Amino acid sequence: MVRTCRKLPKEWEKYEPLGKVIGDTRIIVFKTPLRPELLSRLPKAKHFTTQHLLRKIAEQGKQLGMVINLTNTRRYYDRKELEGMCIEYKEILCPGRGFIEREDLVKTFCKAVERFYEEYYDKDILLGVHCSNGVNRSGYLICRYLIDSLGWNSHEAIAAFESARGYSIERGAFVQAIYRADKERRLKKKRRSEDVSEEEDIVSEKEKRRKKKKRKTDASEEGTPEADGFDPTLTAQMMHQFFAMEQHFRAAAESKQYGSPYGTSTQSPYTQVAPNAIQVMQPQVSHTTPVHMAMKKPRMEKSPMISNGHPGALDVSAESSPFVGSQNTGEYDEEEEEEEADWSLTMGEEFESIDDAQKSKTKKRRERRARREKMFNVMKRGKFYEIQEMLQEQQARLSNK
């Protein structure tokens, strides 16, 4: 014979036996049913047994598919009364003290609810949850399920439970624990999103490097230049051809300019150079006039080396070319220009025209240096349309002289 305790749960009779379905879920909360022996001292209007529970559920047009018992005892009713009605019974013993520290109980409850939803698809089949009075322990675990599994916030979960049950959660520690659980869930979600974003950034960077490496590999297999589009050999050839063409156009334009001032000779004032050499041509002038000697004097101190036996041709090789930043360019720096200007002023009024011509030559040298630097930068980039435009501009400029 099973021993039966005749003691009722504390304040059990003051709570309504059954609440409403919670929100968008299929969970309904009620206080624990009792054996008829425990209800002998109560009026019949206060009785609530398993039979009363099933009748009240049927009155709402619903039926129970599972009952989860959250009390810490088995003495209140016989589980066989429910199992005999084909209702699944789940027992989770929840102690009164130290309950909110038991995360294992929360996980067990959430798993039981999820299993109910997996097994029962009919919306008219409900999940019944109860503790002694159907308020504190039931409210805490149901709110934790709504927060942890469904993603509700703490205010929504508490409000939904209290509205359905008709009573507030009485223990402040349970309410505080619900708020802490919601805060921890949001922090975990934030950290998880940050970790995912970092992983996505790493994967994206690796994918970019992989695609870039693949493009270089494909380009090398096909024999095409690298991804930057710079072919040193082709660029060097183009620079050589461009410099030769520029030298030819400039020599032709300057021969027209200086052809008449040097007598009746039809010979060009520029000496001929070898076809493979790139040289800067200077006009051949008579060395007998005092005026020219006066102009030549300051030049002789720092004049460049004479190349190939031609007195007017200046070597512009890799060591002396103005394109590679050589110091021996055959052009004056600013200090030499100032010395030359001071020296020419001492020659008197008869050399004023010579001084103006010398300043004009200095300006031309600067412009020519700027054009050569621009040409060098364009050739270095190796873009054909820029080279073509530069050639057209150079040809137009020389043809206008």
pLDDT, tens only, 97-127: 888 999 999 999 999 999 999 999 888 899 9
> What pLDDT, on a 0 to 100 scale, did the predictor assign at position 231?
58
> What pLDDT, on a 0 to 100 scale, did the predictor assign at position 270?
40
pTM over 0.75: no
> What pLDDT, on a 0 to 100 scale, did the predictor assign at position 215?
77
End-to-end CA distance of the chain: 128
Return the CATH number of the domain spanning residue range 12-190. Answer: 3.90.190.10
Catalytically active residues are 131
Domain(s) labelled CATH 3.90.190.10 in the chain stretch across 12-190
Low-confidence stretches of the chain (pLDDT beneath 70): 1-6, 194-201, 219-232, 234-235, 255-359, 401
